[in-house]
Amino acid sequence: MRKFRYFARNQEGKEIKDVMEARDSAAVTDVLHDRGLIVVSVKEEMKFDMERLNEINIGGVPMQDKVVFMRQLSTMVSAGLSITKCLEILKQQATNPYFQRVIVDVLESVQGGMSLAESFRNQSENVFDDITLNLIQAGEESGNLDTILARLATELEEQKSMGAKIKSAMIYPAMILLVIIAVVVIMMVVLVPSMSDMYSEFGADLPWATQFLIDASDFLLGYWWVILTLLSVLVIGGKMFLDTEKGKNILDKMILKIPSIGMVITKMQLSNFTRILSLLLSSGLSIIQALELTANSLSNSVFKQTILEAKEEVSKGGSLAVPIARSKYFPLIVSQMIAVGEETGEMDSVLAKVSDYYKEEVDHATDNLSALLEPIMLILMGGAIGFIALAIYMPMFQLSEVMSLAIDIVYTLV
């Protein structure tokens, strides 16, 4: 809770100044109105506080903290503890200062009569996404909160696991790429200029590769500020364009067309789509609400747009399998399994099986992606360093040939 200094007047016009702890200024105003006071001003107290400094949130709450919170809350609720008692225990166990403050605020809201889902929604920064909060709300309304919390814990663990697999698959190739860039820059800034000074003394024509390398090094050293400016403009402009719906859609379509990488992204989106939709339907949400939440959870705008269009058809009484079958991004097995789920009335269990299948496919695809990218990166590194080395030593080879020819001529004349 934050501290606010307020200035108000009572019905007799007497001035009242004091400090109140509240979630926000609106809450302070509501309390003062309930007391029959006329609010003049409400300002948050701004003072340096080391305890508050530790609560600065950088990068959000770690996924691991969310998983532990959800799993422990599920266990305690299923054991019969009240929500307030669970939150009191969890706030003491929280290691992240910001998350601990969020739990304290949520606890106070719950003690004030607010639901758990609504208490999390009222936080200034969302710790949990709309899917999680809607499921918590469904659990509170249906009386199955412990079951839904357990499913949410499993879902968060799946998200954490999938993210870790992608990172592990990309980290080694990314490190190799950084090494390539660093080696090339060092050679262009340090080695090539000294080589250029040495070769300029001979006054001879240099091989094309050597001359290209020297010209590139001279441009890099002489116009580095131009290069940095252009890169900054491209990065900022690209970021602004990709923040637009059109830009993100173009990028997402391009990514799906990249060999190997596009296949991994497709399988990840299919796994997320089937898993999340299955979770939402099994928790009692309507198909329309479940499709909207699932679409908003997908990172690729192409798949997101397909699901939103499918939602519109379903809302008019159509079958979900039909628009899914029309999309070129969804394999036939997905639409066929959805059709089976619609006919049998067991959509959630059918989608869960499809999700398990694509989860295994993502595992295999990420392993193959890492194995494919590593040799490509090594070839690029070898090619870049080999070209620079060749450009450096080619004039030496030519010089040695000229010297050998001169020696032969001298011996012949003698």
Q: How far apart are CA 135 and CA 349, in angstroms?
A: 17
Pairing of the two strands 38-44 and 15-22: unpaired
Q: How far apart are CA 286 and CA 284, in angstroms?
A: 7
Angle at 179 between CA 177 and CA 180, to 5 degrees: 65
Which architecture does CATH list for 63-157?
Answer: Up-down Bundle (1.20)
Q: Does domain 162-414 have CATH number 1.20.81.30?
A: yes
Q: Where are the beta strands (DSSP E) in 28-129?
A: 38-44
Q: How many C-alpha atoms does 319 have within 13 Å on its Cβ side?
A: 16
Do the two domains 63-157 and 162-414 of this chain adopt the same fold? Answer: yes
Q: How far apart are CA 52 and CA 354, in angstroms?
A: 46
**DSSP 8-class letter at 19:** E
Of 119, 161, 111, 157, residue with least CA distance to 136:
119
pLDDT at 48: 41
| Cross-strand bridge partners of residue 21 | 3
Of 43, 45, 26, residue with least CA distance to 34:
26
**For the chain, what are the domain ranges?**
2-47, 63-157, 162-414
The owner of tokens 């639901």 is 115
pLDDT at 406: 47
Q: How far apart are CA 161 and CA 266, in angstroms?
A: 17
Q: How far apart are CA 255 and CA 264, in angstroms?
A: 10
| Cross-strand bridge partners of residue 7 | 17, 41
403: amino acid identity, one letter: M
CB of 131 closer than 8 Å to CB of 280: yes
The pTM of the full predicted model, rounded to 2 decimals, is 0.68
Q: Could you state, in chain order, the average pLDDT of each consecutive group of 10 residues for the chain (414 residues)?
A: 76 79 76 80 60 46 85 88 90 84 87 87 78 85 83 82 74 78 80 74 70 83 86 90 86 86 88 89 87 87 91 91 91 91 90 89 79 77 79 69 51 52
Q: How far apart are CA 122 and CA 1, in angstroms?
A: 12
CB of 266 closer than 8 Å to CB of 134: no
pLDDT at 351: 92
The 3-state DSSP class for residue 3 equals strand
Q: How many C-alpha atoms does 360 have within 13 Å on its Cβ side?
A: 5
Q: How many residues does the chain have?
A: 414
With DSSP H G I counted as helix, E B as strand and the rest as coil, what are the percentages for the chain, rounded to 5?
75, 5, 20
| DSSP character string of 152-174 | HHHHHHHHHHHHHHHHHHHHHHH
